[in-house]
Structure 1
Amino acid sequence: MLKLGLEVPKRTLGYLLIVFLAASFLGYAFAIGNPDAAMEAVKRLAEQIGPISDSSFENFVKIFTNNSMVALFMLLSGLFFGLGPWLIMAFNGFVVGLVVRAVQESGELSFPQIILGLIPHGIIEIPAIALAGVSGIVWYREIVRGEGETGERFRRGAEKALKLFAVSVLLLLVAAFIEAYVTPRVAGV
């Protein structure tokens, strides 16, 4: 439990992180067996994301904005029977595994550089995204299982969810700073 009156369902958070990790391994394995499909997926992803700026600040804003939108989607998707965050974590994990293998296969970066490109910010970013998913699940569970009138349960769930979501966004702010300013130096890219 965190202070400030936040109750974090640690088991749900842990399971979401396990789903992400397992899907990452599946994405990596898929890319080994399907290198052309993996490279094509990475090219499409790079086109969607757009070029990396020479300005660390521009990258910071872009990363934070993107990750905050993902977090918001995680929150809202939790309202759909509590299933959305699980699917989004699995999809994102699969993509990370796919990208890691495709970049490794391309030979542009060494495996240690790839890992150093993920760990410094990922250690904060991935749990923050998972926490946003937990916030949506908490909201859904309160609506379905809480006591009182439906409107009261909805409001109470929203309050709990928004507190967790706010922590998630603050963590994403820190992760975006690290990804824009620290990760490139640590990974040597």
Structure 2
Amino acid sequence: MGLKVFFYDLRTTRRLILIAALFFCASIVVGWLSTGVIQAILAQQMEGLGGVAQRLQNSEHPQWSFFVFIFFNNAIKCVLVIYTGALFGIVPFIFLIVNGMVLGFVVHLQTDMGRSMYEIVVKGLLPHGVIELPVLIIACAFGLKFGVNIISTLGTSIGLKRKGTGPSWEVFLKQTLTVSIWSVIFLFIAAAIESGITYRLLSH
């Protein structure tokens, strides 16, 4: 469960992490360029998030409220996205695409409203995003790996693959537990930064 074990597990999944990162980056571009139906869907997503943000802002202790919401929202989603990957990797794939598109859409929207890229990226995204976004990508990569392993095991069971060539489920499930624990730890740090440093930077 140590940090060395966590980084070792990342190395064993580096190809899927790279694939997940590429999908995420491509989704940001799609979100930035979105029009029509896609833009309407993303705008609806933003409306919902805007309503939540307004309620948190109006609470008695806004920064604490933001921290609690951000941490639990991200931590629960990241752990779920790993294990719902058992559904052939569909959930983590959708989660990855949607989050990338929302990010691209938000950045584009903010620039249209007159905010500089420096303010959006350096003040608004970088302080917490440097931790939060890699964790999101890693969680999705392990969710995709779960789906790949399920498909591989099914292939073996129906004779499409030779026995003994499938994944070691004991090893993989230990990896998912390690990744889940460290994801939650890193997301705790990211939430503290976002509700503290990012919140203050964007308030001025």
The TM-score bracket by the shorter chain reads 0.7 to 0.9
TM-score (norm 1): 0.80
- Tell me the equivalent position of 1:111: 117
- Tell me the equivalent position of 1:120: 127
The aligned amino acid for 1:159 is K
1:131 corresponds, among 131, 138, 143, to 138
1:21 corresponds, among 20, 25, 31, to 25
- Tell me the equivalent position of 1:165: 180
- Tell me the equivalent position of 1:7: 9
Structure 1 gaps of 5+ residues are none
After TM superposition, give the deviation of residue 21 of structure 1 in Å: 1.4
After TM superposition, give the deviation of residue 158 of structure 1 in Å: 2.0
- Tell me the equivalent position of 1:59: 66
After TM superposition, give the deviation of residue 128 of structure 1 in Å: 0.7
Q: What CA RMSD, in Å, does the superposition of the two structures yield over aligned residues?
A: 3.0
User: What is the total number of aligned residue pairs between the two structures?
Assistant: 184
After TM superposition, give the deviation of residue 72 of structure 1 in Å: 2.2
TM-score (norm 2): 0.75
The aligned amino acid for 2:46 is V
Structure 2 gaps of 5+ residues are 157-162
After TM superposition, give the deviation of residue 163 of structure 1 in Å: 0.9
1:37-78 C-alpha deviation (Å, 9 max, x unpaired): 365552233235553335322211110011012202311221
* CA 172–184 in structure 1, closer or farther in 2 if over 3 Å, else same: same
- Structure with greater Cα Rg: 2
Counterpart-to-counterpart distance in 1, 2:138 and 2:194: 19
After TM superposition, give the deviation of residue 181 of structure 1 in Å: 0.6
After TM superposition, give the deviation of residue 117 of structure 1 in Å: 0.3
* CA 40–98 in structure 1, closer or farther in 2 if over 3 Å, else same: same
